[in-house]
């Protein structure tokens, strides 16, 4: 029988989108979020790629307009000395011209949550998952840390890279792998740096990597990637005062292009710092009435700017599979067959990008700055990355059963 009710674990980006996609497929969903209340400043900013925006538009959501997105279809690469190395497309759907957007993560989460609630979907906070079980009649039972329970025909784990749902489905699943890089970022105002229409700039410094864009208002969105041995926890990084991060970054970028120091000195408020992880291939995406989507199934490092878009795509494909196939097991197998190859290719692609960002070897630096302009020319044609950015999910097309 087709499922009628769903539990969604995770109220970030993938969870509300999954709930709306399932609702469109005729399945009533409730979202359960571990945090006690919304955190609309979470995560600073992210790239929402053209393929993800296209998928949201299928659900009638214009994320760029709702969340004050800044169009960034171009990535321009620079050496630490200020030499322009070249540029690549950051995502344009060749079919309709949709371009990627840079959006504050918390604002995107808020507008997606509010849109889900406007459509009658309930989002419950303070619901930290402790266990997932299958009932005698094959339904999903979620047990929460506050002692409450919820049951439904299916359970969707959209709870991110440190997913409790993944651990419940497969206790032996691989743990997130630290990539050896930290991501540090913030917002600056009052700089002399000119606005960067349609462009995110990427600077390969001598000791660290720096990315920035400048909105017409003059607000600068920036981030830095730096190598860090060992694996610091998010809690340890959060305990470092913003002034200490600024001092460290100014030391790392000393001798690189001057605008980096100006942006760092002009940064207002908090400086966010996070260890960068990805997840090796997760062997088990579903078990019984429970299934994983987004980072819970295939976490990618942020280097490709595709994490949010992969979760959004997952949500649509899962909803279609549950809509069109005769039982939950068949739907989950079809969903995995449709998504595993693409998502694992993105994870690998993103890790390769990350491996080029930070090097302190002087010879390697010279070779990189010589080779990169040639390599970038190979990717200058938007068609070279059409597999990534031009991906489209046809809602009206029937889901295909997985090959036996």
pLDDT of residue 348 exceeding 70, the answer is yes
pLDDT of 44 higher than 90: no
What is the C-alpha to C-alpha distance for residues 352 and 129, in angstroms, rounded to an integer?
A: 33
pLDDT value at 263 more than 90:
yes
Query: Per-residue pLDDT for 349 more than 90?
Result: no
Say what the pLDDT of residue 367 is.
67
Fold classification of 5-70+103-176+279-356 (topology level): FAD/NAD(P)-binding domain (3.50.50)
Helix (H/G/I), strand (E/B), else coil: 113: helix
Dmax (CA) for the chain in angstroms is 66
In the predicted model, what is the mean pLDDT of residues 307-325?
Answer: 97
pLDDT at 33 over 90: yes
Residue 128, phi then psi, degrees to nearest 5 = -85, 120
Kindly indicate the confidence band of residue 114, based on its pLDDT and cuts at 50, 70 and 90: very high
> What is the rounded CA–CA span in Å between residue 291 and residue 86?
41
Higher pLDDT, 311 or 385: 311
- Please compute the mean of the pLDDT values over residues 346-354 and round it to a whole number: 83
DSSP 8-state secondary structure symbol assigned to residue 384: G
Determine the Cα–Cα distance for residues 88 and 180; give it in Å rounded to an integer: 25
Rounded to whole angstroms, how far apart are CA atoms 285 and 52? 21
Q: How far is CA 272 from CA 27, 129, 177, 212, 240, in A?
A: 38, 26, 20, 15, 9
State in Å, rounded, how far the first CA of the chain is from the last one: 20
| Distance (Å, whole) CA 325 – CA 342 | 21
pTM of the model: 0.93
Q: How far apart are the C-alpha atoms of 149 and 119, rounded to whole Å?
A: 24
Architecture of domain 177-278: 2-Layer Sandwich (3.30)
404 to each of 242, 330, 333, 400, 401, how far by Cα in Å? 54, 10, 10, 12, 9
Mean of per-residue pLDDT scores for the chain: 92
φ, ψ at 70 (rounded to 5°) = -105, 115
- How would residue 378 be classed by pLDDT, with cut points 50, 70 and 90? low
Ordered by start, the domain boundaries in the chain are 5-70+103-176+279-356, 177-278
């Amino acid at each position: 029988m087709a499922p009628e009710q769903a539990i969604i674990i995770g109220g970030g980006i993938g969870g509300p989108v999954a709930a709306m996609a399932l609702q469109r497929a005729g399945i009533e969903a409730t979202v359960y979020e571990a945090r006690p209340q919304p955190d609309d400043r979470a995560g600073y900013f992210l790239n929402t790629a053209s393929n993800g925006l296209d998928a949201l538009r299928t659900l009638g959501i214009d994320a760029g307009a709702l969340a004050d997105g800044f169009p960034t279809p171009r990535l321009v690469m620079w050496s630490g000395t200020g030499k322009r190395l070249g540029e690549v497309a950051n995502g344009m759907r060749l079919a309709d011209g949709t371009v990627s957007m840079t959006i504050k993560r918390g604002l995107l989460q808020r507008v997606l949550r509010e849109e889900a609630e406007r459509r009658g979907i309930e989002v419950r906070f303070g619901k930290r998952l402790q266990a997932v079980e299958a009932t005698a009649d094959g339904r999903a039972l979620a047990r929460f840390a506050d002692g409450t329970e919820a049951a439904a025909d299916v359970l969707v784990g959209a709870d991110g890279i440190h997913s409790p749902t993944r651990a419940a489905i497969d206790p032996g699943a691989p743990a997130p792998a630290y990539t050896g890089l930290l991501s540090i970022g913030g917002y600056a105002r009052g700089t002399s740096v000119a606005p960067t229409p349609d462009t995110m700039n990427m600077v390969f410094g001598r000791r660290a990597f720096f990315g920035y864009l400048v909105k017409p208002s003059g607000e600068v969105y920036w981030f830095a990637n730096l190598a860090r041995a060992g694996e610091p926890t998010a809690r340890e990084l959060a305990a470092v005062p913003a002034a200490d991060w600024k001092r460290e970054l100014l030391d790392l970028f000393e001798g690189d292009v001057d605008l980096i120091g100006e942006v760092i000195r002009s940064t207002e408020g908090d400086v966010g710092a996070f260890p960068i992880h990805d997840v090796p291939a997760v062997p088990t995406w579903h078990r019984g009435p429970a299934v994983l989507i987004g980072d819970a199934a295939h976490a990618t490092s942020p280097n490709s700017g595709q994490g949010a878009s992969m979760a959004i795509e997952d949500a649509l494909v899962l909803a279609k599979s549950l809509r069109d196939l005769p039982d939950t097991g068949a739907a989950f197998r079809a969903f995995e067959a449709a998504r595993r190859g693409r998502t694992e290719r993105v994870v690998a692609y993103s890790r390769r990008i990350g491996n080029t960002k930070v090097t302190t070897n002087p010879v390697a630096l010279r070779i990189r700055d010589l080779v990169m302009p040639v390599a970038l020319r190979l990717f200058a044609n938007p068609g070279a990355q059409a597999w990534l950015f031009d991906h489209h999910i046809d809602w009206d097309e029937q889901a295909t059963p997985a090959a036996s």
